[in-house]
Structure formats: structure tokens, C-alpha cells
């Protein structure tokens, strides 16, 4: 009988810990994968694949977008390509950090950007995530120090860009 009670207690403790740990681990992992999916694929110029990890919005970020997925994909790819043709594009990244803030994923990354033939590093670029269809996606990148055009281009925001 003592073995059964001990087993029940162990299973109960494991269940309780799992209920709190696994969702957070999943959210952090999905968010990290979203950033890597966007940045790795943009660097490799696999824009369609990169767009799969972008959270699109054209009104408030918690409302379903009025722009269609295919329209958004076309416009997002075009704006990333247009900026690259102007000489600004992502060539690398480092120090990707994702954590949970009150069960909501937040993060930062250092972006290595080519601008007019010179590499620059944008340190501590903030990452904003949102969930759609059960998966966390990268919705926005921003830097409080200055408004970087490339950060807006890589975001899923279609409200502040010409459509």
C-alpha cells in the first residue's frame, strides 16, 4: 500500500510540474524556431519559406488581418527583395534570446546587416511574437534606439507599409 501511495505522489508531482513546465518550454521553442525560420531563410533568400514564420497583421495585432495570406506573402517578399536591391539586407545574427514574460514569449537578437556595402550590427533588436493557428510566429522586430527600415520590412505589419 505504501508503494502505491508513493507512486501516486510521484505521478502527481510529475504531472503538476509538467503542466507548468511543458507549455512554457513549447512556447519558447516555437518562438525561437519562428525567429530562426525567418532570419535563416531571409539570409538564404528562401523568402517563401521565411514568410511561413511571419505573423501578419494589418489592423490591431490581435484581430484577423483583412489582407489575404497570399497577398501578404507577395507584398512581404517584394518589400524584402526591394530593400535588398537598395543594398540593405540581413547577412547574419547572433545572441538570439527568447524568454517568457508572464507566459508570453519575448526576445532579442543581434542582427548583422549589410547597408550600402558595409556590415553593421544592430544590437538587442527586440522581438515581438503572436500566436496564430496554435503556433507562435514572429510579428515584429524593433529597436528603441532608432527606426530601422529593415526591421519594419521583416515584420508582419502591413498597416504601416504601402500596400
Residues 43, 163: Cα–Cα separation, whole Å: 24
What is 2-154's CATH number? 3.10.450.100
C-beta of residue 24 within 8 angstroms of C-beta of residue 100: yes
Query: Which candidate, 135, 144, 139, places its Cα nearest to that of 160?
Result: 139
**Residue 12 in this model has a pLDDT that exceeds 90:** no
Give the residue extent of every domain in the chain: 2-154
pLDDT tens-digit profile of 74-124?
999 999 999 999 999 999 999 999 998 877 899 999 999 998 889 999 999
Contact 155/90 with Cβ under 8 angstroms? no
Average pLDDT, the chain: 84
According to the model, what pLDDT value does residue 147 have?
58
Q: Helix (H, G, I), strand (E, B), or coil: what is residue 126?
A: strand
Which of 129, 137, 95 has the alpha carbon at shortest distance from 112? Answer: 95
pLDDT in tens, 52-79: 999 999 887 777 888 899 999 999 999 9
Amino acid at each position: 500500500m505504501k508503494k502505491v501511495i508513493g507512486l501516486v505522489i510521484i505521478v502527481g508531482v510529475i504531472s503538476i510540474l509538467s503542466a507548468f513546465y511543458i507549455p512554457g518550454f513549447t512556447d519558447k521553442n516555437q518562438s525561437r524556431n519562428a525567429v530562426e525560420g525567418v532570419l535563416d531563410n531571409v539570409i538564404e533568400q528562401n523568402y517563401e519559406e521565411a514568410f511561413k514564420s511571419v505573423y501578419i497583421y494589418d489592423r490591431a495585432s490581435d484581430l484577423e488581418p483583412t489582407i489575404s495570406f497570399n497577398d501578404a506573402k507577395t507584398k512581404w517578399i517584394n518589400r524584402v527583395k526591394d530593400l535588398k536591391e537598395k543594398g540593405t539586407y540581413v547577412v547574419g545574427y547572433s545572441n538570439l534570446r527568447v524568454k517568457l514574460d508572464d507566459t508570453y514569449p519575448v526576445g532579442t537578437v543581434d542582427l548583422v546587416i549589410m547597408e550600402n556595402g558595409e556590415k553593421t550590427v544592430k544590437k538587442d533588436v527586440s522581438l515581438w511574437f503572436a500566436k496564430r493557428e496554435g503556433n507562435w510566429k514572429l510579428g515584429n522586430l524593433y529597436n528603441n534606439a532608432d527606426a530601422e527600415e529593415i526591421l519594419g520590412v521583416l515584420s508582419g505589419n502591413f498597416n504601416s507599409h504601402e500596400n
